[in-house]
Amino acid sequence: MTDIELLTTEAQLAEVTGRWAELALEVGATISAQPLWVVPWWRHLGRGSLLVYAAFDGDRLVALAPLHERRAGPASVVRFLGFGLGAVSELLVRPGHEATAAAVWDRLLEAPLRRLQLAEYRLPSASLAPLERRGGTRIRISDRCPVLHVSGTAAEYLAARPKKLRATLRKAQERLTTEGRTHRVELVAEAAQLQDRLEDVRAVYDAAERTNPRLHLLAGRFEPFLLGLLGDAAAAVRLRLFIGYVDGVPVSFDAAFTSGSTLELWLGRFDPAFAAYAPGHLSFQAVAEHAFGAGMKVVDLGLGSDRYKLQWCDSGYDTATVDTASSATALRAGDAVLAAARLARRARHRRS
């Protein structure tokens, strides 16, 4: 018999962290659906209330929904933990226990005015089937995650990539040679190394944000989250931080994490002042070579079908936005809450 528990405190999460990590590895979950990423996000950036449903078969964790809830009056909106930072997530279900997903969704949607807005739900996912059959559920493809499958040698893989990519790499190397400059990529995987190289990462991030402001995760309220995530990943020997240098000056970085035989890139930037040397591509060449040499099977480049990603990858998977609610009234109430939140964000943006 499956027992479903609602976890609403960090202490309760801590009790299942090990089993959660094991389940995530078995089902091939992305890093942002794993406790390594989720726990520091909740600790430093989370708002509202934890709403994590864990299903057990005896002592064995067979399903987990990594969610949180924010209320507005009588209504509430439920999202994935990590919402707002492009977290790709899902209801994790161990193979052979797919029927448990329906029970978890039923428990979740018992609340009378609860609206689910699940952004970047990884597809395909067996755990989504019960919601697809539920009346009033809206599912739309929202993004794509390019993927590189490791097979053969790095040189063979590169030879099969588009001619334009190979030309970009060749021209970058020729420019460096002509100008008498050197480029190298350093791999940081240990906690001591991370502390020594954090300021190099910060220098690249600062330069990238000055030219193209996006979201600075090493500044303001986001910094404790990113430092906590990188530190925890290094302590768990799962961090792979690639830092590119031209003549000893930091010009790029790519932060990646290992999950079994998958290397997942999550965050990367480069200094636009060095764009002529294609530092992003040179860095990713080092990432790919590491993946081939380290026995990885998959390199996941994360959200976004950017042209530079597609040049490197041979396939990918889709993500979806899933909207549903406990009732039609709850769906309308949730829509009103979300609309009010959007207006509030726009007002804050205008004031700033």
Q: What average pLDDT does the segment 331-336 reach? A: 69
pLDDT value at 305 more than 70: yes
Q: State how far the alpha carbon of 352 is from the alpha carbons of 215, 348, 349, in Å.
A: 16, 6, 5
Do 56 and 123 lie in one domain? The reply is yes
Give φ, ψ of 86 to 5 degrees.
70, 30
Do 136 and 194 lie in one domain? The reply is no
Do 134 and 191 lie in one domain? The reply is no
Do 13 and 128 lie in one domain? The reply is yes
Do 126 and 167 lie in one domain? The reply is no
Start-to-end Cα distance in the chain: 54
Do 184 and 278 lie in one domain? The reply is yes
Strands 114-122 and 60-65: unpaired
- pLDDT tens sequence across 309-328: 999 999 999 999 999 998 77
Where does residue 152 fall: left (phi above 0), alpha (psi -120 to 50 degrees), or beta otherwise? left
d(CA 33, CA 13): 13
- Share the mean pLDDT of the chain: 93
* Residue 223 belongs to some domain of the structure: yes
Residue type for 108, please?
L
Question: Which residue range is the domain that position 211 belongs to?
Answer: 151-296
Q: Specify whether the CB–CB gap between 53 and 27 falls below 8 A.
A: no
Do 206 and 118 lie in one domain? The reply is no
Q: What average pLDDT does the segment 214-232 reach? A: 96
Where does residue 120 fall: left (phi above 0), alpha (psi -120 to 50 degrees), or beta otherwise? left
* Residue 309 belongs to some domain of the structure: no
* Residue 81 belongs to some domain of the structure: yes
Q: What are the DSSP calls for 282-340, one per residue?
A: HHHHHHHHHHHHTT-SEEE--S---HHHHHH-SEEEEEEEEEEESSHHHHHHHHHHHHH
* Residue 312 belongs to some domain of the structure: no
Do 73 and 158 lie in one domain? The reply is no
Q: What average pLDDT does the segment 259-288 reach? A: 97
Do 131 and 172 lie in one domain? The reply is no
Domains in the chain, number: 2
- pLDDT tens sequence across 6-47: 999 999 999 999 999 999 999 999 999 999 999 999 999 999
- At 286 the pLDDT is 97
Tokens in use for 249? 């000056």
* Residue 332 belongs to some domain of the structure: yes
pLDDT value at 235 more than 70: yes
- At 342 the pLDDT is 63
- pLDDT tens sequence across 110-164: 988 899 999 999 999 989 999 988 878 999 999 999 999 999 999 999 999 999 9
Sole residue written with tokens 């402001």: 213
* Residue 305 belongs to some domain of the structure: no
Do 289 and 337 lie in one domain? The reply is no
- At 352 the pLDDT is 46
Q: Specify whether the CB–CB gap between 44 and 84 falls below 8 A.
A: no
Do 137 and 155 lie in one domain? The reply is no
Do 140 and 7 lie in one domain? The reply is yes
* Residue 167 belongs to some domain of the structure: yes
- Beta strand ranges found along the chain (DSSP E): 2-7, 49-50, 52-57, 60-65, 67-72, 75-80, 92-93, 114-122, 138-149, 183-188, 239-246, 249-259, 262-270, 298-300, 315-325
CATH classification at residue 188: 3.40.630.30
* Residue 344 belongs to some domain of the structure: yes
